[in-house]
Amino acid sequence: MTDLMNDLETTSHTRTGATVELRGLHRSFGTATALDGLDLTVEPGELVALLGPSGCGKTTALRTVAGFERPDSGQVLVDGEDITGVPAHRRDVGMVFQSYSLFPHLTAIDNVAFGLRMSGVGKAARRARAAELLELVGLPQYAGRFPHQLSGGQQQRIALARALALRPRVLLLDEPLSALDAQVRLTLREEIRRLQRQLGITTFFVTHDQEEALSMADRVAVMSAGRLEQCAPPAELYERPASAFVAEFVGVMSRIPARAGANDGTVDVFGRTLPVDGRLPGAAEGAGGTGEVDVLVRPEAVDVTADRTGTSRIVGAAFLGGTTRLTVRLADGGEVMADVPTHAMTTLSVGATVTLTLPDRPVLVDRHSRGSGGDGG
């Protein structure tokens, strides 16, 4: 019996993940640049989400790892081995697509076993492995059903089982949940994360959904224009963004026009002088010597107080359960998002005038955006 067949017949699901390195990847399509010197290392057993706006290059990066795209320059290495020129079918990589891509004429168990059959694994061994995987994804009772007899979530589980059948060193997930409804997405993302941890497989997860990325990933790689803006654990990404792009792309962020202090590392905002967290490029740089900057602030950091003499006004409120997100219009016409406890809405109704304050801690500051308006409070 081959080594592959021996491996498939083991009872353990655990396999040490591989290290994947993307080094200086460049890829262009005509005049459009998809990857512009992308560098990223994913550690063994790690799940890294590739997140960014449409056209940022995240899917091209995934397809380059899979072998479906060949970079114009740069390297893809797995455990130190350069696989840039290796055909897709020889890369020991499993991939799950957004559209399931199951064979409609095959049953669930035969779909799972398809790759094993193509690899020459005997019928008994591949059926046993496929049955094992159906058990792993919670669908052993659907082994004999065809794809059209399964729900979208069930089909995606079958696709995941098929991708895992050959025990790949790397798993690639290309927006696998985007075609599913909200409740199924929530359930399946938890199951994918559980399986990924159980198997210890190195995983790339492409998504446009920030909540998915932040809830599932060990690290989130935020991309823009084919380059990596920041790769960090979710909490660090949210609380300590490395650029204004990351700060505004991940979560909700308001820009509050303010005035930088006289080279003293402070900024005047909402009538208070606060220290500047100077990590962002352009922090505390005035526009044309005027000292105008934008303070970047999360909704949960804005304190809202009902004030009949206040110069700001609540113009919108969105119920989010225990919190309500307010849209507050400043005196200059700019708007700020603020999260408040829902029980506080007895005094903070739409139309009420309010005063806004920020906590006494360093604030993120970026170059002033002319579209933001002037000072407000």
pLDDT, one tens digit per residue, over 271-308 is 889 988 866 655 545 433 347 889 999 999 999 999 99
pLDDT mean over 160-170: 90
Read off the tokens for 41: 């290392």
pLDDT, one tens digit per residue, over 214-241 is 999 999 999 999 999 999 999 999 988 9
Residue intervals in the chain for CATH 2.40.50.140: 252-372
Superfamily for domain range 3-244:
P-loop containing nucleotide triphosphate hydrolases (3.40.50.300)
**Does the structural domain 252-372 have CATH classification 3.40.50.720?**
no
Read off the tokens for 205: 């997860």
b/e 278-303 (16+ beta carbons within 10 angstroms → b)? eebeebbeeeeeebbbbbbbbbebbe
pLDDT computed for residue 293 by the predictor:
87
pLDDT computed for residue 84 by the predictor:
96
Residue intervals in the chain for CATH 3.40.50.300: 3-244
Between CA 204 and CA 86 the distance in angstroms is 19
**Contacts of 37 by beta carbon, 8 Å cutoff, 6+ apart:** 24, 25, 26, 74, 226, 227
Other C-beta atoms closer than 10 Å to the C-beta of 333 total 10
DSSP three-state, residue 147: helix
Angle at 274 between CA 271 and CA 279, to 5 degrees: 140
Of residues 68 and 9, more confidently modeled: 68
DSSP codes joined into one string, 225-243: TTEEEEEE-HHHHHHS-SS
Indicate if the pLDDT at residue 106 is higher than 60.
yes
pLDDT computed for residue 13 by the predictor:
40
Indicate if the pLDDT at residue 259 is higher than 90.
no
Angle at 361 between CA 357 and CA 362, to 5 degrees: 110
Between CA 42 and CA 30 the distance in angstroms is 29
Biggest alpha carbon–alpha carbon distance for the chain = 83
Give the whole-number percent of the chain exceeding pLDDT 70: 89
pLDDT mean over 173-182: 85
Between CA 288 and CA 189 the distance in angstroms is 48
Angstrom CA distances, 307 to 314, 348, 353, stand at 11, 10, 6
Q: Are 324 and 340 in contact (CB under 8 A)?
A: yes
Other C-beta atoms closer than 10 Å to the C-beta of 55 total 14
pLDDT computed for residue 282 by the predictor:
57
pLDDT computed for residue 337 by the predictor:
96
Q: Are 49 and 189 in contact (CB under 8 A)?
A: no
pLDDT mean over 150-176: 90
Lowest average pLDDT, out of 27-41, 179-193, 348-362, goes to 179-193
